[in-house]
Structure 1
């Protein structure tokens, strides 16, 4: 006996409802797929950001300890250049004085005279004009002026360059190893920026991490705005600024470093030495 009309209608409605359910299930599955894809993408971003933060803070102690140490300098992760650019400066022709000044104690802050000093770093790559603030950083300026007058910096290489995160060229070590100094240390930290930002052109003293009394002869030249975190000793003594010749430092930085202290941290690929320092 053939199905009645009502049975055919019910069967038709049932099949149509089942088709509707299948469409709804397919739509729900597609929504879940898109949501899961979005979640996965977000997790990837979060993980990558976490890796970047970990990488930065993994390098930060070295940057704070060594960039600040009398025998070391700031470090940071970066890609280095394999060879200098076509306009790189000529190789240094001088060497450190074997009888460089070694003092038993730091010069008295009064040597800074509480005034502004003008000077020039005569380097193998070109002259760098500087201005030193003896009012804001009397201990650091007194030390720098005394060493400059004693020809302590003559022939000394700028031994370390960092090229990412922290952008500095560190100089002032007569041994060129990152461990040398004038025979004394001094402190505490003077005139450090409260926001930890060191603008391009800043001249600051290096020291050991968390030791504000470990400043010596090493200093760093900031060639690009840098944020250098403070530690328990504070920030880093700002003794002055570059007034001309910042492009000299930037030219050296553009050639990169040799990665001898890790990626983006090592000796400048283009060697640079201080031939003489004049102050007045």
Structure 2
């Protein structure tokens, strides 16, 4: 799900504090939570392609990061098939990484998963109107955390976000870190191609849909999940 401001005229109290663009229409009023997802205008099927791995990938340290914290990128290794299992307290999700289309992103995600970065973190946002996503990957749980580095968007040509799409969320446009969202249903509004799709759910959609259908803790259409969703571990193979 940059995303800085929600498009449309929303009540001041309904504007999210984060950056994942609110792609809602003028009539769609959504209550936001601090999150990396800020929806702007949103189009719609994440797809596998025969794209070759990019020749290079740049990871840039943030203010809190150092060069020693950065992932190492090897184009050939980064393009190898990758399967990921998100083990949560609500059930397991199996993901197929789009390594050929988004090698920089999948390399980063694998790097963080293998070092246990996501372990114990909470999915901090669920959206139940217009767009239907669960957002995770923030170790602080407030939509503002980063892993100590950022990297640029990729795989945006023709990008769309139907059910089962896993894509990067971000605090600032063009700067991806650790936060990501998973679509548990097709969006009702158009979504512009601004969030890097890097995986798709191949098993566990029932778990994901149940989380979304349970709604938010305060009954709003955009907030923290009513039932806490905790990532116990992320298995990469």
Length-normalised TM-score, structure 2: 0.71
| 1:222 equivalent among 183, 189, 194 | 183
Partner of 1:57: 8
Distance 1:253 1:66 in 2: 18
Q: Are the equivalent residues in 2 in contact too, given 1:199–1:224 (CA < 8 A)? A: yes
Q: How does 1:120-269 map to 2 (within 5 A)?
A: 120-187=85-152, 189-192=153-156, 194=158, 197-208=160-171, 211-212=173-174, 214-226=175-187, 227=189, 229-230=191-192, 235-259=194-218, 263-269=220-226
Query: Shift of the alpha carbon at 1:174?
Result: 0.6
Length-normalised TM-score, structure 1: 0.61
- Point out where structure 2 has 5 or more consecutive residues left out of the alignment: 1-5, 23-33, 41-63
Partner of 1:107: 71
Structure ID, larger Rg: 1
Distance 2:235 2:15 in 1: 34
Distance 2:135 2:231 in 1: 11
Query: Shift of the alpha carbon at 1:160?
Result: 0.5
Distance 2:88 2:21 in 1: 21
For residues 99-132 of structure 1, the C-alpha deviation after alignment (integer angstroms, 9 at most, x for no partner) is: xxx8535424427521220110000000100111
For residues 56-76 of structure 1, the C-alpha deviation after alignment (integer angstroms, 9 at most, x for no partner) is: 7236985993359x9522469
Q: Which structure has more helix as a fraction of its residues?
A: 1
Q: Are the equivalent residues in 1 in contact too, given 2:35–2:144 (CA < 8 A)? A: yes
- Point out where structure 1 has 5 or more consecutive residues left out of the alignment: 1-54, 77-101
What is the number of equivalent residue pairs in this alignment?
Answer: 191
Q: Are the equivalent residues in 2 in contact too, given 1:166–1:228 (CA < 8 A)? A: no
Q: Are the equivalent residues in 1 in contact too, given 2:102–2:198 (CA < 8 A)? A: yes
CA RMSD of aligned residues (A): 2.9
Partner of 1:25: none
